[in-house]
Structure 1
């Protein structure tokens, strides 16, 4: 679809998350294959700017910044819509396609709506990891956002997503759209980093070591669920937390109220999580919603066990041994605690 075309990649988020990292990884591969790609980065995303500087990818900065309630701004804030339209129109003059990097339908919604208004919607491509409703994501004003999202999904006729489950969901939201799957990938680790091949892992019978890595954002990533689940564990546990985010301080406060058998270490944001994972028993991904988490793919490559809920992209990659299933009315905390206890028993058998 995009081979032999001039392609603009427009990043929209103010953070550097898994979807942005995956986008950069794909860009590097496509550039090596000879694709003509130009990148446009929000001027307020310093981590993304630093990443592209480190990887040698050329870019220009733009000033269409993410706003709270952005999907509402994309319909009712003329200034935001004008800024989105002016940038998209400028880029469209020299590019055949404009790919909008959307962590969800809200991020960059102004570009999708602008594409329709400018008459270039057939040249706008949304690269989006999932199509969860705002109600599922626990967003403020979810009903309003979900109503507006119905129109935003229809403003774009070309989607790229990350697994078949989300392809079906996008087709349900826009039956006429062309939806393609571009799977997430991670680099193959060097042999010395693969458990059981490059090094031998020996569990400590006196302590369980758990890794939780990712943006500290309770509403999506569920670190609060993990801490509550650990509250009911009697075994000695060392939990290592890698990442930062809006709920970091609250997580630290919650951790201080755990029993003396639970020790939590906060390492902040790290560029290479796996430098700190050689001796962990397993990693936990307690997310309330996800796409296809890169941390999960990396763990699988390294043969590090994973615990995660049976939803979203986890269903495509993890076996039943790794998943905990939650029926309507059941407690996520209780189901995660049960799974952790099972792992603790099985690791020493």
Structure 2
């Protein structure tokens, strides 16, 4: 089995994918192809896996990948030749696709090498959802519709995402649900401002600083509305790093909220900070099933989230708000302030998710790979 991961970041999608790949590599001959810029992914794979080869993929600009992938033929051809040389031992390639635009160098190379191509994809989205204009969103959608037809099969992370995926392709789809590690809380060596002040109601938004997906600006704008409608002392922590750090910080200062909203960057003690907060806010515009939702639920936290696939099947209707709508988010926060004893209701699906562990996840992933390989996966390992 060959695993392909071209992402430069090591977020929840990559962690799930490489957890499965590492588990398989411990008792099966596997090759990993990974972006050389993703140091965390490489370290994780070496520590937890036993790959016969780890090949480092040169980094490239992944913007406009739905279009530019068709012009990356030197890269695709080189990878295809490598796959052909290994085809007798490895007839299947599993490609990590955080979005359908990503990972397509691996998908196309795999198709050219006549391998069985399996896509591991956590979400389906439209470019209008992502903030594209009507015309550009339609054009990007047409380009992406072709990309959904390339893999021979898919592994995704929930039944709801699978339903969306079936609207874009006719390939076989298997669902392997996520898991989150049950981790001990660590001591907070440098507590963020006001964390210990009992007079403040504390909110936290963890996640990559990518506003078009995670919706951090919606929360900033909502908190301005909340501050004008209530006298409650509020503090908010935005935890994470990413390309929109300056954009979010500028909006915080523009709305004079720099004494109430603090950007903490990446924190190894995120779970400990989250545990001390009153409310976890997840205002994503599109999403799979983020690990932070599972981590917050494991801690038993009060949670509100946008009413999208990825959240709405895991929380009650009282705990979701309209996506891309600061007014709706502000109203939900105010309702929590007014009734602090009424906490989020976890659905049975979420309760099941937080009961899952790494072994269940890797076992399910292995079964999905075997089924989608049509017996080839079994033959490879005889």
**Structure 1 337/169 Cα, relative in aligned 2: closer, same or farther at 3 Å?**
same
Shift, 1:31, TM fit: 5.0
**Structure 1 153/301 Cα, relative in aligned 2: closer, same or farther at 3 Å?**
same
Residues in 2 aligned to 1:312 and 1:142: alpha-carbon distance in whole angstroms: 20
Matched, 1:62 2:57: yes
Matched, 1:171 2:162: no
Q: Which runs of 5+ in 1 are unaligned?
A: 1-6, 194-201
- Using the size of structure 1 for normalisation, the TM-score is 0.84
> Following TM superposition, where does structure 1 have runs of at least 4 consecutive aligned residues deviating by more than 6 angstroms?
202-205
More displaced 10-residue stretch of structure 1: 267-276 or 10-19: 267-276
**Structure 1 255/51 Cα, relative in aligned 2: closer, same or farther at 3 Å?**
farther
1:115 touches 1:155 (CA, 8 Å); kept in 2? no
More displaced 10-residue stretch of structure 1: 239-248 or 312-321: 312-321
More displaced 10-residue stretch of structure 1: 228-237 or 20-29: 20-29
Matched, 1:128 2:133: no
Residue aligning to 2:371: none
**Structure 1 170/87 Cα, relative in aligned 2: closer, same or farther at 3 Å?**
farther
1:286 touches 1:309 (CA, 8 Å); kept in 2? yes
- Which residue, 297, 301, 306 being the options, matches 1:304? 301
Matched, 1:313 2:307: no
Residue aligning to 2:251: 254
Shift, 1:30, TM fit: 4.2
Residues in 2 aligned to 1:78 and 1:300: alpha-carbon distance in whole angstroms: 45
Residues in 2 aligned to 1:144 and 1:80: alpha-carbon distance in whole angstroms: 25
Residues in 2 aligned to 1:281 and 1:230: alpha-carbon distance in whole angstroms: 15
Residues in 2 aligned to 1:102 and 1:79: alpha-carbon distance in whole angstroms: 21
Matched, 1:146 2:141: yes
Structure 1, residues 38-77: CA drift from partner, whole Å, max 9, x if none?
3221112223223334545543312264522122122234
**Structure 1 79/223 Cα, relative in aligned 2: closer, same or farther at 3 Å?**
same
Residues in 1 aligned to 2:161 and 2:306: alpha-carbon distance in whole angstroms: 17
CA RMSD of aligned residues (A): 2.6
**Per the alignment, in what secondary structure is the counterpart of residue 260 of structure 2?**
strand
Residue aligning to 1:231: 224
Residue aligning to 2:283: 286
Residues in 1 aligned to 2:13 and 2:39: alpha-carbon distance in whole angstroms: 16
**Structure 1 139/35 Cα, relative in aligned 2: closer, same or farther at 3 Å?**
farther
Residue aligning to 1:269: 266
Residues in 2 aligned to 1:261 and 1:250: alpha-carbon distance in whole angstroms: 14
- Which residue, 96, 102, 108 being the options, matches 1:107? 102
Structure 1, residues 66-119: CA drift from partner, whole Å, max 9, x if none?
522122122234334324433443453431311000101111112223333333
Residue aligning to 1:16: 10
Q: Which runs of 5+ in 2 are unaligned?
A: 187-194, 343-382
Shift, 1:300, TM fit: 0.8
Shift, 1:259, TM fit: 4.2
Residues in 2 aligned to 1:233 and 1:345: alpha-carbon distance in whole angstroms: 12
Q: Which has the higher contact order (CA 8 A, sep 6+)?
A: 2
**Per the alignment, in what secondary structure is the counterpart of residue 250 of structure 2?**
helix
